Structure 1
């Protein structure tokens, strides 16, 4: 089942290319993030519930990626362009304030335990957010020319009216529900 074209203002979340590959193929559905999250009266929310994945190459670090995912590291295949592979929808977001709990999430995502710990303690603020995502690969990747507005160390990039056609979810709904239950189990262990 395909979904109708989405021609609406969209933002993109910058994330390592290797993680974008894992999310787009359904190998993982969980991202651990420090930035790009807002606190509301209802808890914690990502700035955007639907967003495009923006693969970055600049800060990828082989030492922070689990060994089984190292073959995904590659040089930028299209310098000067951003090739956006998928639309992501937030299924759940959890603020994790225990390092022990954050480390239990290692099998569900791509980072090493050391990387999780570094992100957890980043800027002397001991917490991290776990984002469970439903990822829909685009029927045709969106290719954008790199501009100064798209560069820089920011989490979110507004793309204006991006015309994309998301396909079916990379992970079946039953499997995504299983992954969500496992996330919740690991956080309450």
Structure 2
């Protein structure tokens, strides 16, 4: 069974360009009572255009915002592998991660306090581009504010990691030092 993680198109593009390797996640309104959990350690990136907010992106990334180029279709560009995951229960620690990812400090703080549950997850990801993007029709089952989308059994033709392993480990070390 292959699953996909919904993430803003802008952040997905930053990951697939190798500009970033870190996501800060809280979960959507339709998540379970406990919120977002890392249910899969290998998943496809599902770029979403819903709720992208330029005010929540750091200024240097706002030029990547775009409208959905093909409404009704999902283009899955890459496989992500979780290298490290941290549940962060200190706002100060969460805010220290601002330089390593795309969200503003205000967006991190809003997510941290979302639903009066003070925490976020930080996911360090190894990204492997697909040799050809997988293009799927967006079905009603894929819609909604959920993080994980089951895709069934599909072939995932992956390439080499975008970031060399040594550089990814340096990014991991920087993350751990900030925490």
Whole-Å separation in 2 of the counterparts to 1:162 and 1:21: 22
1:135 and 1:169 in contact (8 A); partners too: yes
Q: CA deviation at 1:162?
A: 1.6
1:77 paired to 2:55: no
Whole-Å separation in 2 of the counterparts to 1:67 and 1:150: 30
Whole-Å separation in 1 of the counterparts to 2:162 and 2:105: 26
Q: Give unpaired runs (5+ residues) of structure 2.
A: none
Q: Residue 51 of structure 2 aligns to a residue in which SS?
A: coil
How large is the RMSD of aligned CA atoms in angstroms?
A: 1.7
Among 54, 57, 61, which residue is 2:53 paired with? Answer: 61
Where do 1:27-38 residues align within 5 Å? Answer: 27-35=19-27
Q: CA deviation at 1:45?
A: 6.3
TM-score, scaled to structure 2: 0.94
1:45 and 1:93 in contact (8 A); partners too: no
1:155 aligns to what?
147
Whole-Å separation in 2 of the counterparts to 1:166 and 1:25: 15
Whole-Å separation in 2 of the counterparts to 1:185 and 1:73: 30
Q: CA deviation at 1:134?
A: 0.3
Whole-Å separation in 2 of the counterparts to 1:148 and 1:78: 16
Q: 1:45 to 1:115 in 2, by over 3 A?
A: closer
1:184 aligns to what?
176
Q: Give unpaired runs (5+ residues) of structure 1.
A: 1-8
Question: Which structure 1 residue ranges, 4+ long, deviate > 6 Å from structure 2?
Answer: none
1:51 paired to 2:43: yes
1:143 aligns to what?
135
